[in-house]
Structure 1
């Protein structure tokens, strides 16, 4: 048998996943993970904490799954929203205007954030919101297509992107898997007049569009009139295939797992792990009905874009140092080490982020694009 969705056709597991992503990102903004690095802890704990930072280049850390999870989840949520609108008589064409406007807003917010980071006007296309603006629009154009078409187009985008990196020969930029010496960096240099110092490239939106497209596919599977077993099997098999192909491609050097340039191997492997997480959450929360304390997490995801903008600007630049005025003062009186004071400060700021989201959710205040 299949589960019966509630009146709003919300999947609680999807809300939990969104909330988990935002909680993790809030922890980064609060400097929880970086402050842990400065504590005197056993080596194995430091190694675990390194999973909350991006891999330097070739390889995969847990933190490298956050953006793919966000993009995949966005595709799934968009499909569920689309179905709700169809039931209200809102056509695909009419909703397209809303999607285009939303994508423009995401693009402007993403580029605007980089101006805030730089403290001056800059034109940089590396932010997750800027990337999501493009992948959302691509995914929506395919939202009416069959599962097969969506999966194939996702694969084609990955293959085309990888082939372009490996076949297009540009002097000094003809090393597909070398940081700053690849096609993506060349395009950034021509498009923005600069190369990202950490190796990120703007054309990542081409291959990572597969995440959002396949997120739509997962949404279709979840809402399909099929048994729970059928849904879980489809999702698990899809994840397993993506993982196997991705790791094989990396092993034989066909496409290395590199997040910063979103190689085909990375897109496949990251999607595979994300889908396994989605499958487990769906099974545990929506099928087994273990959602008694889900509100602790879901409240954070109810205002996902707002809280992301908040902790990337006001939170990091004002709230964090303001809280430290008090934490630092009392820690000095208690002769506490600076590293421990910074860690406590990070936890307090992290809690404030959560409580702000909880308060907004409790008072039914939802800030949307």
Structure 2
């Protein structure tokens, strides 16, 4: 029975959210202004097309941990007496709200009413439905379903022959771009693809299976070894496919990218799991704000994706910029300090809400 939250899930989700919040606060862009040729700083920007940077793992991590959380929340309710049929309305409502807020978020960023489906929340709306529909089935069937989705997406890119959209691995000239033009009448300036929801559904499915592994497998060391093994397998297969001619491209969620990124994320999840391998008592005390961020994930995500870049960083710079002038701190460094101040405020908001037990759930 699932009687309580598993801390590694919330802490890992909080870790991903802090990294995403830092991007919204401008931490990475301001550091790039200071260190434009730094290899480390470049890892916090998406690969321009082919390749895999650290930032490219944030969205897969978000999708996979959402799958794990879905597994635990579903079986907690089932343990309390609910049936799958009774949970479907809640899941449908959650997916609708994820889609709704995803579109609203894009409108806020654009400053006008638009219809675009490239946001991670829009993607998660689809992958949540697919994952929940598969939860009650066997592990082999769920794995087969995830493989089918990956091969379906890959086949549509490689084997369709639509004039102008028949170049599988070329920006804006692939099948995904054709679908975007068909349904939205536009292409993403960053070459993102809406139908990435199909292959990345595998991330959410695999995340749910990891939740199942953690819940139903013992002893914990077996779970840890399995996570490490699966992570290494994903990395080897993903990069092997890349070497075989199926390039790693996040913007179209290619087969090699989906598998390789899942491998890296699984290794990171293994690291967090290892910290709670003994009776939920952590070996290393991680910052409590990670747990606070994870406990209120959707609200915090919407908060830092809207108010932070649109208002907060501008407001804080009124004071940070003034203090920097008095202290004769160069403007570039003042911008970096301001970004970290904005990030600290996001963390403080999450910690305050958690301390007051104020949670916003979809």
Match of 1:11 in 2: 6
- The aligned residue for residue 107 of structure 1 is 99
Structure 1 equivalent of residue 164 of structure 2 = 172
**2:102–2:121 CA contact under 8 A, matched in 1:** yes
Tell me whether 169-178 or 226-235 shows the greater mean CA deviation.
Answer: 226-235
Distance in 1 between residues matched to 2:36 and 2:123, nearest whole Å: 38
Corresponding position of 1:261: 252
1:20 aligns with 2:15: yes
Task: Give the counterpart of 2:336 among 343, 347, 356.
Answer: 343
SS at 2:277 equivalent: helix
User: Which residue of 1 is the match for residue 355 of structure 2?
Assistant: 362
Which residue of structure 2 aligns with residue 78 of structure 1? 70
After superposition, residues 275-290 of structure 1 pair within 5 angstroms as 275-287=266-278, 289-290=282-283
Would you say the 8 A contact 1:80–1:219 is kept in 2? yes
**In structure 2, C-alpha distance between the alignment counterparts of 1:242 and 1:325, rounded to whole Å:** 46
Partner of 1:331: 324
Residue 243 of structure 2 corresponds to: 251
| Superposed CA offset, 1:236-271 (max 9, x none) | 222222222211111010x21000000010000000
Match of residue 40, structure 2, among 21, 45, 48: 48
3-state DSSP of counterpart to 1:124: coil
Matched residue SS, 2:194: coil
| Contact residue 106 and residue 114 of structure 2 kept, 8 A | yes
| Equivalent residue pairs, number | 360
Q: Could you state the TM-score of these two structures normalised by the residue count of structure 2?
A: 0.96
Q: How far off is 1:6 after superposition?
A: 8.2
Please give the secondary structure, in 1, of the residue aligned with 2:89. Answer: helix
Displacement, 1:17?
0.4
Offset of 1:24 from its aligned partner? 0.5
Q: Check if 1:143 corresponds to 2:138.
A: no
Query: Which of 281, 285, 288 is equivalent to 1:292?
Result: 285
CA distance in 1, matches of 2:74, 2:197: 22
* Residues 2 and 72 in structure 2, CA contact (< 8 A), matched pair in contact too: no
Which of 261, 264, 272 matches 2:263?
A: 272
- Cα distance in 2 for partners of 1:259, 1:16 equals 25
Moved more, 310-319 or 282-291: 282-291
Distance 1:264 1:178 in 2: 15
Q: Distance in 2 between matches of 1:176 and 1:252?
A: 15
Q: Report deviation, 1:148.
A: 1.0
The Cα shift of 1:140 comes to 0.2
The 1-side partners of 2:231 and 2:322 are apart by 50
How many angstroms apart in 2 are the aligned matches of 1:282 and 1:167? 40
Aligned residue runs from structure 1 range 192-231, under 5 A? 192-231=184-223
Equivalent residue, structure 2, for 1:38: 33
Displacement of 1:229: 2.7
Could you say what secondary structure the match of 1:324 adopts? helix
Deviates more, 1:110-119 or 1:223-232: 223-232
The separation in 1 between residues aligned to 2:290 and 2:221, in whole angstroms, is 26
Residue from 291, 305, 319 that aligns with 1:312:
305
What is the CA-CA distance between 1:42 and the residue it aligns to? Answer: 9.1
Give how far 1:291 is off: 5.1
**RMSD across aligned C-alpha pairs, in angstroms?**
1.5
How far did 1:232 drift? 2.0
Q: CA deviation at 1:7?
A: 3.8
Q: Is the Cα contact below 8 Å between 2:2 and 2:79 reproduced in 1?
A: no
Aligned equivalents of 2:81 and 2:48: distance in 1? 48
Q: Which runs of 5+ in 1 are unaligned?
A: none
Q: Taking structure 1 as the reference length, what is the TM-score of the superposition?
A: 0.94
The secondary structure found in structure 1 opposite 2:145 is helix
